[in-house]
Structure 1
Amino acid sequence: MNLVALNIDTIPLGQPLPFALRGAQGVLLAHKGYVIRNRAELEVLLARGVSLCVDTDESGDSHRSYLAQLHQMLQSDTQLGQIAVMKISASPGAAPPRERERETVGPPAWLELQVRATQLLRTPQGQEFGPRFHALHEELARHCAQAPDAALLALVLLSAQETQMYSATHAMLVSVACMVTARETLRWPEARVLQVGRAALSMNISMTALQDHLAQQTDPLSWPQIMAIENHAMQSEALLRQLGVADPVWLEAVRRHHERTPGPLAQKSEAEQLARLIQRADVFGARIAPRASRQPLPVTAAMQGSYYDETRQVDEAGAALVKTLGIYPPGALVRLASQEVAVVLRRGATATTPRVAVVISRTGMPTGEMIPRDTTLPNWKITGPVAYKDVRVTWPLERILALV
């Protein structure tokens, strides 16, 4: 891999990328052919400290074409201002791949999925919405079917750290958690598994931008903000209708996803069952996410909030969620009996014995290499959760996913 840093102004907007966009460590940010629609998407990455690079070994034709254009402009005494804004374009004759032809093997690029979901849900566009939404949902559904622990780990970890793209990250986590629970524990038919995933992914579409703003707001809610929050379920349903969604169960589940309706799932309609599962997963996802105005809850407290209903009885949908994800879901940080801090990689044979890897030693120092531990053994049993705010070390997501 031969990475070359890119100036943000050289990256083409509104057209398929002629190269794969990568970070400084080679992490895939956007596949070749992905459309970056505006500069704001790139600025979000830069604000998070992500460098923008191209791998010349992988994208040689495009980069050689760029260098050839640059050389020609220098030879012809082109003004420096024109050179600085020159875009990298595809090599002559190269046909840009369609978004639907995105590669379907290998681990997902979660940063790319975050940006795609944020842009789609913040500014849904008429005829473009349907194909783009279904492409995003199909990719999420494929990853949570093929590697559910990895998908949960990525989204739990990102949700515990994300504020700038909170709403879309939260929606993806709820969507994946609902699909995994519906498939593995509730044993719903596959069509309903996908249906609940679509409803969860689109549940807050009318207030995506507002949710992202509120995640960083420290002032009390204004009256218009309160009204937008109160009405967002109905507004989301109405917006989805305008965007061409015709599935009545999907639409009703979105409209009802904040209703407080305890009781057995068998006594509910199909849409009400979807809405109840979404509501339970929504509670969990919201409680583990940070806000500028409050600290996130530990995963165990967030799970407890989903497990018990409004009458303090065990909730059937919430219990299914906890049984599926475990008390310590993938992506959570935990403390071991050895006083080490570990990240949960995979769910285990029981809810309290997941597979973990140590990231902080008993002396409080980063381990460098992540060390697997067997939590079924007394020396390494889990003694409780650890909040992300209490750990001042971060790890590249791809390093953790490689251990799953």
Structure 2
Amino acid sequence: MPFHLRNEDGQILAYRGQLAQRDVLERLIFRGRQLFIDAAEDYSGAWDESSGNGPILRPRGQNWYDYQEEANVLLRLPEDPRFLARLTRFHDHLRELAIANPDAALLALFYLSTIEVRFYSATHAMLVSVMCGLAARNVLNWPEDKERTLSLAALSMNVGMTELQDTLARQTTVLAPDQKVLVANHSSRSMSLLHRAGVTDPEWLEAVRMHHATFSGGLGAEVPWAERMAHLIQRADSFGARRAPRATRAPLVAARAMQSIYFDQNKQIDPAGAALIKAVGIHTPGSFVQLETGEVAIVVKRGQITTTPKVLVLTNGDGVALSRFIARDTALPGQRVARAVERSEIKISINLEKILAFA
């Protein structure tokens, strides 16, 4: 199978790479079962759909949990001969999703980054890539080729320590000496792995190598492109890390995490941090807020300004879960954001796919 085969609920019936016999699949269809594949996967030419009664496989819609799983597998295999082709294809699809509906992409990735730590490294890489791409396109007006190189570098910045990152997110003890060495050297190791995988773009490689450097300058034309890219990645990386939970601490609320990247080490406004905040908002899609009404809501869209997002109310002023969502525009009087809310304060279950329908 060149793709996961799913039922109508999205559950996987046969995993990519498994053997599947056509007669078995046809018996399932004869019994009234429908078979699905994810529309995000490249299955063109992989299956004969001319069965006489129409296609036996139907593309499913977007599923961010699947993208998270795919990135988790992909970024652990930088030495696979097919890595670069797969990375580029995955990146280009992720970028297309972010261009088509940036609010939905931000909502899904910010939400996923705060709910658990199993796929921390992959989710973090996807989030930083989308954030950097949005800032470069919509705020800084970078040329398309530079923006694409930036978001590729962001997605691949940690291939030298993907598995270790996931381990550290769950670890409750201090770093062991060998872990400290791997963390300290991961930028150079990531660059080397990418070069061996076939990456020849010097700006991509240099941005990965420098993405943990300290920057105090601007993003002007006098600054080399690789340094500008690394600066944006470093700020977005820092923000994403503060938003994600660890076994030893809860994530920072979005507004506090944003404040931490707005100023540089000299207490001056950081141009990269400012661009990212303008791109994604103070209260990012996927974060939670309490309104002046006392209602608690999830942010689903950015507003006209960074502090006035569009939200869906989850609980009323008494903390009771609502039977249906209520949309609010926090730019309106009486509905403004009173405070940011930590994910741990939300005591109700959330269906991401239903929320995404409003983004």
Same fold (TM over 0.5): yes
Aligned-partner Cα distance in 2 for 1:33–1:253: 39
For the 8 Å contact 1:340–1:362, the answer to whether it is kept is yes
The one-letter amino acid paired with 2:255 is T
Check 1:21–1:199 CA distance in 2 against 1; reply closer, same or farther (3 A cut). farther
Moved over 6 A (4+): none
Aligned-partner Cα distance in 1 for 2:29–2:133: 46
| 1:270-294 C-alpha deviation (Å, 9 max, x unpaired) | 0000000001100111101000011
| 1:148-185 C-alpha deviation (Å, 9 max, x unpaired) | 11000100000011300000000000000000110000
Count how many residue pairs are aligned between Structure 1 and Structure 2.
Answer: 338
**In the alignment, which residue of structure 2 is the partner of 1:99?**
42
**In the alignment, which residue of structure 2 is the partner of 1:19?**
5
Aligned-partner Cα distance in 1 for 2:95–2:237: 18
**In the alignment, which residue of structure 2 is the partner of 1:127?**
81
SS at match of 2:258: helix
Task: Please state how far the C-alpha of 1:123 moved relative to its aligned partner.
Answer: 2.2
**In the alignment, which residue of structure 1 is the partner of 2:137?**
183
SS at match of 1:384: strand
For the 8 Å contact 2:78–2:194, the answer to whether it is kept is no
**In the alignment, which residue of structure 1 is the partner of 2:327?**
372
- The question of 1:270 aligning with 2:225 is answered yes
Given the two structures, how large is their TM-score scaled by the length of structure 2? 0.88
Check 1:138–1:100 CA distance in 2 against 1; reply closer, same or farther (3 A cut). farther
Out of 270, 295, 300, which is 1:315 matched to? Answer: 270
Check 1:299–1:36 CA distance in 2 against 1; reply closer, same or farther (3 A cut). farther
Instruction: Mark the runs of 5 or more structure 2 residues left unpaired by the alignment.
Output: 47-56
Aligned-partner Cα distance in 1 for 2:173–2:87: 33
Aligned-partner Cα distance in 1 for 2:41–2:233: 32
Aligned-partner Cα distance in 1 for 2:89–2:253: 33
The one-letter amino acid paired with 1:108 is Q
Instruction: Mark the runs of 5 or more structure 1 residues left unpaired by the alignment.
Output: 1-14, 38-59, 71-89, 91-96
Out of 199, 208, 213, which is 1:254 matched to? Answer: 208
The one-letter amino acid paired with 1:259 is A
Given the two structures, how large is their TM-score scaled by the length of structure 1? 0.78
Aligned-partner Cα distance in 1 for 2:182–2:347: 35
The alignment's C-alpha RMSD in Å is 2.7
Task: Please state how far the C-alpha of 1:100 moved relative to its aligned partner.
Answer: 5.6
Aligned-partner Cα distance in 2 for 1:348–1:67: 46
- The question of 1:229 aligning with 2:150 is answered no
Check 1:235–1:313 CA distance in 2 against 1; reply closer, same or farther (3 A cut). same
Check 1:29–1:229 CA distance in 2 against 1; reply closer, same or farther (3 A cut). farther
| 1:83-135 C-alpha deviation (Å, 9 max, x unpaired) | xxxxxxx9xxxxxx9836399x9852111111110001112343211221111
Task: Please state how far the C-alpha of 1:365 moved relative to its aligned partner.
Answer: 1.6
Aligned-partner Cα distance in 2 for 1:371–1:253: 43
| 1:279-328 C-alpha deviation (Å, 9 max, x unpaired) | 11001111010000111111111101111111111000110000111110
Out of 52, 66, 69, which is 1:112 matched to? Answer: 66
Out of 5, 16, 33, which is 1:35 matched to? Answer: 16
Aligned-partner Cα distance in 2 for 1:120–1:143: 18
**In the alignment, which residue of structure 2 is the partner of 1:65?**
27
- Sequence identity of aligned pairs in percent? 42
For the 8 Å contact 2:131–2:236, the answer to whether it is kept is yes
Aligned-partner Cα distance in 1 for 2:41–2:335: 48
Aligned-partner Cα distance in 2 for 1:270–1:131: 24
Task: Please state how far the C-alpha of 1:64 moved relative to its aligned partner.
Answer: 4.2
**Bigger radius of gyration:** 1
SS at match of 2:161: helix
Task: Please state how far the C-alpha of 1:19 moved relative to its aligned partner.
Answer: 3.0
Tell me which of the two structures has the higher relative contact order, counting C-alpha pairs closer than 8 angstroms and 6 or more residues apart: 2
Out of 104, 109, 118, which is 1:155 matched to? Answer: 109
